[in-house]
Amino acid sequence: MKRTLAVALTLLVSLPLFAQKRAFTLEDVYRVKGVGDLTATEDGSRIAFTVTTRDLAHAKSSKKIWIANADGGEMRAVTNGDADGSPSFSRDGKSLAFVRDNNVYILSLAGGEARKLTDFSTGVSDPIWAPNGKWIAFSSDVYPECGADDACNKRISERWQNGKLHAHMADNTLLFRHWTSWRDGQVTHTFLVNVDDGKIRDLTPGTVDFPPFQLGGPLQ
């Protein structure tokens, strides 16, 4: 269902391109807008998604969050960052949590600027609202001895980056490196952040990844 809706949205936001009858070029590929990160309100009346645009001449891309009614009406961008993603509606549909600069932001859909909720040096992924609207869950790769203690995570990270010894050690063979990033002792934990005061709690302390790694797919 999500894939079908993504294709439909991609065609909808790219209609001006297909209005011209001519050969498809490389420049046209970069003009096609990419749609992803689809999510819906609890009652299914509205959807949120990301739209990625690309600038071939300057080798840049921009990803913003859009919302629309479930029937495709009233489609509009609601964020103005260059790399906004992972939108998640609050259960009452009045607010949107999303990731910008590797941290959680909250946007009131009644208007106004987005509010930065977390300042977590290890970054966050896949924010999800709690049913009561008071907490948001997210995942992050942290050092198990630190958990939610960000000063501790920063200290160990700087030791890895600035130490005289530039080597990597892995005590297991599964995903000791993600693409070009080495794990270097980090594990994935699930956290809760208080929407009102930004206090963060580690729900899965220890040396085990939770949630376990999955290629694509959100925390939920």
pTM of whole model > 0.85?
A: no
Pick from 58, 49, 55, 54: which is nearest to 87 by CA? Answer: 49
* pLDDT range class, residue 219, cuts 50, 70, 90: very low
Residue 197 has pLDDT above 90, yes or no: yes
Residue 31 has pLDDT above 80, yes or no: yes
Residue 76 has pLDDT above 80, yes or no: yes
Pick from 75, 74, 51, 72: which is nearest to 63 by CA? Answer: 51
**pLDDT tens readout for residues 109-122:** 999 999 999 999 99
Residue 11 has pLDDT above 80, yes or no: no
Q: Provide the pLDDT for residue 220.
A: 44
Contact (CB, 8 A) for 90 and 64: no
Q: Provide the pLDDT for residue 214.
A: 62
* pLDDT range class, residue 167, cuts 50, 70, 90: confident
| Distances from the Cα of 216 to the Cα of 125, 213, 220, angstroms | 12, 9, 12
* pLDDT range class, residue 93, cuts 50, 70, 90: very high
Domains of the chain by start residue, with CATH: 1-116 (2.120.10.30), 137-212 (no CATH)
**pLDDT tens readout for residues 179-192:** 777 778 899 999 99
